[in-house]
Amino acid sequence: MSDRCNFSRWLALEGLRATPVRLAVLEILGEAPRALRAQEILELIRARRRVNKVTVYRILEDFTRRGMVRKLSLEGRVNHFELACEHHPPHPHFQCQTCREVQCLEPVALNRIWTELQGPVGNRADHIDIKVEGVCHKCRDIS
């Protein structure tokens, strides 16, 4: 996924130095087949280099503010992160109620329900998050 992104160039465009930790965060998110928790990202970086958790949290927060990364609040207390590059448009997510694993679903057209979701007159809707909950195929096989 998104192997086509030039992360060094992307950071330069944002006015950020292409430090090893920043590049590691982007590469790990770019290779991930699903949204990752901060702790998973931390452990994956630590497989290649020594790093403090605060650094990773601050980078993820900064990337989120800049819109380079999407922060997903799928369940309380633990956030998931995914790349928000041009190759990863927003899309719905599936979370299994048994194993808590998260899947990325294909983008859906929301044109028809978008206007219904604007809410009371005067609100400005910027984007829609869709989360589907259920039981994944792996957990269904077990039971």
Residue ranges in contact with DNA by CB under 7 A: 16-17, 19-22, 37-39, 50-55, 57-59, 61, 76-79
Does 103 sit near Zn ion (CB under 5 A)?
no
Counting every residue written for the chain, the total comes to 143
CA-CA-CA-CA torsion for 123, 126, 38, 31, nearest 10 degrees?
Answer: 170
List phi, psi (to 5°) of 36.
-115, 150
Question: Residue 63 or residue 94: which is nearer to DNA going by CB?
Answer: 63
- Binding-site size, its own copies (CB under 8 A): 44
The backbone region for 2, taken as left when phi is positive above 0, alpha when psi lies in -120 to 50, beta otherwise, is left
φ, ψ (nearest 5 deg) of residue 114: -55, -50
Token couple for 131: 């989360």
CB of 35 to Mn ion, least distance (A): 5
Q: Which lies closer to its own copies via its Cβ, residue 5 or residue 32?
A: 32
Site string for its own copies, 60-99 (x = CB under 8 A): -----------x-xxxxxxx------------x-x-xx--
Binding site for Mn ion (CB under 5 A): 35, 82, 104
| Binding to its own copies in span 100-129, by CB under 8 A | 103, 105-106, 108-110, 112-113, 116-129
The DSSP output letter for 120 is S
Q: In one letter, which amino acid is 92?
A: P
Closest separation in Å from C-beta 73 to DNA: 9
